[in-house]
Structure 1
Amino acid sequence: MRVEVLGIKIDHFSMQETVAHIQEAVEKKKQTWVVTANPELIFAAGADARLKQLINRAQLVTPDGIGVVWAANRLGHPVSERVTGIDLLEALFPLIGKKKWRVFFLGSKPGVAELAAQKVAEQYPGVEWQAQHGYFQPGEQAEILDRIRKFQPDLLLVGLGAPRQEFWIASHPDLATVNMGVGGCFDALAGLNKRAPQWIRNIHLEWLYRLLKQPQRIRRQMVLPKFVWQVMKQGKNEQKKHTRRVR
């Protein structure tokens, strides 16, 4: 089941269910694309028909953030919980270590993906990994693609920033069993950007914590009021359509 938020179809799965779907995909070698859809990405897709089409082709689209959970509830199709990129990774890593999956970390500044992978492997020794920063030149891409294919990852984590990572994954869908765009997660995994304390996450104010720590995010956060307004408009339009059908 999916709920449509501004034209993007969001899965109703809980964190546990999402992890189970990814595990099944890897074990059955079923190619799967995971999109963690936050309000900014959903809003951007509203102005880019190609991006919207690509996201709606993904096998798993998670509600990344309390804003998307609110939108689903507002539209009368509640989802059980938010499934953010970093939380999903942290839920997956124990399984990845146990199952000895092969994970390729692609993205972020030079050295960051490697550091993130090393820290993950220290905590979960079964993880097999390779890493590549995201500041490669167009002429280097063929070599990187060949390297990923030879590694044969079960999981390819692409941290090139949204929506660039979504377009990149869509252009190279056969590199791994499961492809997932992870935005700036490598910085958090590497310990460069500390996450909000758990109590702040529990009250759904991690976005504010990150804004206070990184004031430059204010431009991105300006999308949120526009996102809320568009969701309210969608709700009103759907209510009008329902009223006409009843009549």
Structure 2
Amino acid sequence: MSNIKRISILGIDFDCLTNAELFQQLQRDLKNQTRRFIVTANPEIVLYARQHPQYARIIKHANYVTADGTGIVIGSKILKRPLPERVTGFDTMKKLLHLANDRQKKVYFLGAKPEVLKTTLTVIKKNYPNLIIAGAHDGYFKTDQAITDSIQQTNPDIVFVALGFPKQEKFIYQSYSNSHAIWMGVGGSFDVLAGKVKRAPIFWQQHQIEWLYRLLQEPSRLPRMMALPKYLCLVLAEKFHLIKK
């Protein structure tokens, strides 16, 4: 961990890791039962963290912060501190699911709508039959502590939290201390696993226009997409020392 280089972009430190290098780290962490907190940050998260110092402090406690967004990689190149590649939350989650299946590890699933979670668990049982579902709860609950206690009682090796930012990172930060698990915020990934939302085909992913595919699928995302030009303007301002990092 201490040898991993970090790249600062608008105050958020990103790990300078490829997908393969992160997966190697996580394999070791899982084998050694080392508690980990993973944040997969895109431009939206970076902008939110700039406006909410408490959330920014939570991200600083994460063990891994990955560039989940083409804009993050572009920003790093503009700043002449290039990150090697995009490391998406969904791809990292899929690799952890395969790893848990291979090693018969226990996984807890938290978040999404009840019907989405139900379908997700059906898909998990079918595609990862050796993975042990330690427990699950949808994203609608009254108190964090009750869910935290439930998770701790199941003693999972991996916890996927699909509550969306900033709620999922806040929940993990408050809940992961008495655990040996790998904790990861996965946003809307359960919707993709359940088939409710289609991920962009490989062509769109390889050409770094997955964001456009999602926008065509969900035009209502347009206001959220406006975060990208704002983010890039701030990166350019940082490049020319017009703002503080």
TM-score by length of 2: 0.92
Write the letter of the residue equivalent to 2:132.
E
* Counterpart selection for 1:172 from 175, 183, 186: 175
Q: Is it true that 1:8 corresponds to 2:15 in the alignment?
A: no
Deviates more, 1:179-188 or 1:77-86: 77-86
Larger CA deviation: 22-31 vs 220-229? 22-31
Aligned Cα RMSD in Å?
A: 1.7
Alignment check: 8 A CA contact 2:15 2:66 kept: yes
1:25 corresponds in structure 2 to: 29
- Contact 1:134–1:159 (Cα < 8 Å) also in 2: yes
Moved more, 156-165 or 143-152: 143-152
Describe the superposition over 1:9-39 as per-residue Cα deviations: whole angstroms up to 9, x where unpaired.
0001111111111121121121110000111
Distance in structure 2 (CA, Å) of the matches to 1:60 and 1:142: 24
Q: Distance in 2 between matches of 1:77 and 1:142?
A: 40
Distance 1:160 1:44 in 2: 16
CA distance in 1, matches of 2:165, 2:145: 22
Residue in structure 2 matching 1:146, options 137, 149, 167: 149
CA contact (8 A) 1:156 1:175 kept: no
Secondary structure in 2 matching 1:171: helix
2:97 pairs with 1:87: no
The Cα shift of 1:114 comes to 3.0
Distance 1:125 1:157, change over 3 A: same
Which residue identity is paired with 1:153? P
8 Å contact from structure 1 (residues 30, 177) kept in 2: yes
- Superposition map of 1:29-48 within 5 A: 29-48=33-52
Q: Any conservation in 2 of the 1:114–1:132 contact (CA below 8 Å)?
A: no
* Structure 1 residues 39-78: aligned runs within 5 Å: 39-78=43-82
2:158 corresponds, among 155, 159, 184, to 155
- Deviation, 1:101, is 1.3
Selected match of 2:137 from 123, 132, 135 = 132
The answer to whether the Cα contact below 8 Å between 1:156 and 1:176 also exists between their aligned partners in 2 is no
8 Å Cα contact 1:107/1:133 also seen in 2 = yes
After superposition, what is the alpha-carbon deviation per residue over 1:146-168, rounded to whole angstroms, capped at 9, x for unaligned?
22111111111001110111111
**C-alpha distance in 2 between matches for 1:187 and 1:175:** 26
Counterpart CA distance in 2 for 1:25 and 1:75 is 31
Which letter does structure 1 place at the counterpart of 2:142? Answer: Q
Separation (CA, whole Å) in 1 of partners of 2:188 and 2:74: 23
Which amino acid is the alignment partner of residue 165 of structure 1?
Answer: Q
Q: Say if 1:14 and 1:83, in contact at 8 Å, map to a contact too.
A: yes
1:14-65 CA distance string (max 9 Å, x none): 1111111112112112111000011100111011111111101110000001
Give the whole-Å Cα distance in 1 for the aligned partners of 2:36 and 2:218. Answer: 33
Give the secondary structure class of the aligned counterpart of 2:195.
coil
Q: CA deviation at 1:184?
A: 0.5
Deviation at 1:176, TM superposition (A): 5.0
- For residues 130 and 155 of structure 2, what CA distance do their matches in structure 1 show? 16
2:79 partner letter: L
Query: What is the percentage of aligned positions where both structures have the same residue?
Result: 36
Tell me the secondary structure at the aligned position of residue 149 of structure 1.
helix
User: Distance in 1 between the 2:93 and 2:146 partners?
Assistant: 27
Q: CA deviation at 1:92?
A: 2.3
Runs of 5+ unmatched residues, structure 1: 239-247
Contact 1:100 1:127 in 2 (8 A): yes
Tell me how far 1:237 sits from its aligned partner.
1.3
Count of matched residue pairs: 238
